Amino acid sequence: MSGPGLPGYLDYPWRRRGLDHDRFPYRILPRATPIAWPGKARVALWIAVHVGHFPMDMPRTPFVAPGGVDRPYPSYWDYTQRDYGNRIGIYRLMRALDARGLRGTALMSSAVATRYPALVKEVAASRWEVAAAGVDMGKLHHGGLDEASERALVTRAVANLRAAFGPTVRGWHSPAHSQSMRTLDLVAEAGLDYVADWINDDMPYAVTTAKGPLTAMPLAWDLSDQRLLFQQHMDTGEFVEQVLRAFASFKAEAADGAGRVLTVTITPWLMGQPHRIRALGEMLDRLLDQDGVWPATGAEIVDAWKASAG
């Protein structure tokens, strides 16, 4: 056994100055090679939608996922609010995006594919992208899982979603951004090519795994409705204003030809509420009124980034 002050506590293969892993090289974004988006756009607009299933018996260890059930089992209060998003709120979001010719990326729990057949039919008929977001929000990826158990979670999630939506499922987002040391390896092993778990950049970058390369996509947590509306209790207007401020910053940074990604991360049981949906539509209109905006799915951004980065 080891612990603070005991032998071996700080011994691990990548203990050194700088990055303590070999997943990607150190990069300073302003000094990186400029990325050109299609049509010479300055900012790629990625709308990532958390379509998660929150089981009523969610565990409280090793941690409670953001938006997780707070009350003792059975908490119909918590469960039905999350369920509202997948039965009602998501359709408002789809209408708002469809009215503007926008395609979202559904970061979907595979449990949704079996529990919500009507929603699956709607999403499959739409032009939205689907990315795998684990089995459900109660099955987190963490260091306490053995390799076989974690592989089974990844395999199950990818298989169920590809059975519903076909081979276009290319992305991965772990429930609650959770990972073990081997999650990336298992995601690559499952045949996916991008991951949206880390919140350490504003642009895509290459990630090394034991099963081949992945592309890390910037899923903005600080601009997420879960962060701003649910955790920090901001009102909808403040959420909109923060997204627009981020866009202004990215557009200014991209003035020298270096493209940026603005990720609008929204959740059906939050942003799909009737008192918020109009504000979302108005925010999207303001973004689309700007010059140099390229609306795209996660997979489209990955492909364009790879093409430009060479």
Is the torsion defined by CA of 142, 176, 76, 90 positive or negative?
negative
Nearest to 55 by CA among 80, 88, 87: 80
| Tokens encoding 302 | 């990955």
Supply angle C-alpha 236, 135, 269, rounded to 5.
Answer: 20
What's the pLDDT at 18? 61
- The tally of domains found in the chain comes to 1
Per the domain annotation, does 251 fall within a domain? Answer: yes
pLDDT of 4 above 80: no
Per the domain annotation, does 201 fall within a domain? Answer: yes
**pTM score, whole prediction:** 0.92
Per the domain annotation, does 235 fall within a domain? Answer: yes
Cα separation, 271 vs 69, in Å, equals 18
Of 6-20, 26-40, 108-122, give the lowest mean pLDDT range.
6-20
Nearest to 113 by CA among 102, 126, 122: 122
What's the pLDDT at 67? 80
Per the domain annotation, does 3 fall within a domain? Answer: no
What end-to-end distance do the CA atoms of the chain give, in Å?
47
CB 270 within 8 A of CB 50: no
Cα separation, 131 vs 51, in Å, equals 10
Per the domain annotation, does 5 fall within a domain? Answer: no
Domain range holding 179?
A: 34-309
What's the pLDDT at 12? 66
Mean pLDDT of 230-258: 94
Per the domain annotation, does 233 fall within a domain? Answer: yes
Work out the pLDDT band at 298, boundaries 50, 70, 90.
Answer: very high
Cα separation, 131 vs 128, in Å, equals 10
pLDDT in tens, 181-234: 999 999 999 999 999 999 999 999 999 999 999 999 999 899 999 999 999 999
Q: How many CB atoms lie within 10 A of CB 222?
A: 11
pLDDT of 1 above 80: no
pLDDT in tens, 262-291: 999 999 999 999 999 999 999 999 999 999
Task: HSE, CB side, 13 Å, CA atoms: give it for residue 202.
Answer: 22
Place of tokens 């909808």: 236
Alpha carbon separation from 6 to 10, 212, 238, 243 (Å, rounded) = 9, 36, 47, 46
Cα separation, 126 vs 117, in Å, equals 14
What's the pLDDT at 79? 87
Runs of H (alpha helix) within 60-209? 76-84, 90-98, 110-115, 117-125, 147-165, 183-189
Per the domain annotation, does 2 fall within a domain? Answer: no
pLDDT of 6 above 70: no
Of 32-36, 95-99, 162-166, 181-185, give the lowest mean pLDDT range.
32-36
What's the pLDDT at 2? 43
What's the pLDDT at 22? 82
pLDDT in tens, 17-76: 666 778 988 889 999 999 999 999 999 999 999 999 999 888 888 888 888 877 778 888
User: What is the percent of the chain with per-residue pLDDT over 70, rounded to a whole number?
Assistant: 94
Per the domain annotation, does 27 fall within a domain? Answer: no
Residue 231 neighbours by CB under 8 Å, 6+ apart: 66
Find the CATH number of the domain harbouring 156: 3.20.20.370
196 three-state secondary structure = coil
pLDDT of 3 above 60: no
**Backbone torsions φ then ψ of 110, nearest 5 degrees:** -65, -20
pLDDT of 165 above 70: yes
